[in-house]
Amino acid sequence: MTLLNILSKEPASNEVADKKPAKTQTRYFRPRYQILDTENAYSIEVDVPGVAKSGLEITLEDGVLEVVGNRSWKAPEDWKSIDNSYSEVAYRLRLAIGDSVNDGGIEAEVEDGVLRITLPKVEDKKPRKISVK
């Protein structure tokens, strides 16, 4: 049993559609990520290349941790566009969080295109060593 699971509500592909009308629909891409388990916390590392700190939104609601990142780039006004394959990109990752996480102590930082989220474990859920007498 894993304590952090990706929600099965999202499609199997890396592209995730928002539930807005078709004309205003945002296309999200599920970023690559890994979950690490340490003695005191879980650590989630999410690849969000090109996303500034101000473009990230992290929420926790009803046991679901959601990461949304938006990257946009605009050419300087004096540039003439020849090709426009570099456009806005939106990332979204949703993970179910188990009851072994202290949700009041969750922290996040972004550096070099990698978002690191630390989810401290609840004290009574941490593994402990039992001495043999």
Answer yes or no: is 102 within a domain.
yes
Neighbouring CB atoms inside 10 A of 48's CB total 23
pTM of the model: 0.72
User: To which H or E segment does residue 32 belong?
Assistant: none
Answer yes or no: is 81 within a domain.
no
Answer yes or no: is 80 within a domain.
no
Q: Measure CA 105 to chain center.
A: 17
As a whole number, mean pLDDT of residues 41-67 equals: 94
Distance CA(115)–CA(97), nearest Å, equals: 17
CATH of the domain at 49: 2.60.40.790
Q: What is the pLDDT of residues 56-91, one digit of tens each?
A: 999 999 999 999 999 877 778 888 877 766 667 899
Answer yes or no: is 65 within a domain.
yes
Tokens 């690490």 belong to 36
Distance CA(25)–CA(30), nearest Å, equals: 16
Distance CA(17)–CA(13), nearest Å, equals: 11
Question: For residue 23, what are its two tokens?
Answer: 């004309």
Answer yes or no: is 48 within a domain.
yes
Answer yes or no: is 96 within a domain.
yes
Q: Which residue has the higher pLDDT, 6 or 50?
A: 50
Domain span holding position 65: 4-75+86-125
Answer yes or no: is 131 within a domain.
no
Confidence of residue 18 (pLDDT cuts 50, 70, 90): low
Overall domain count for the chain: 1
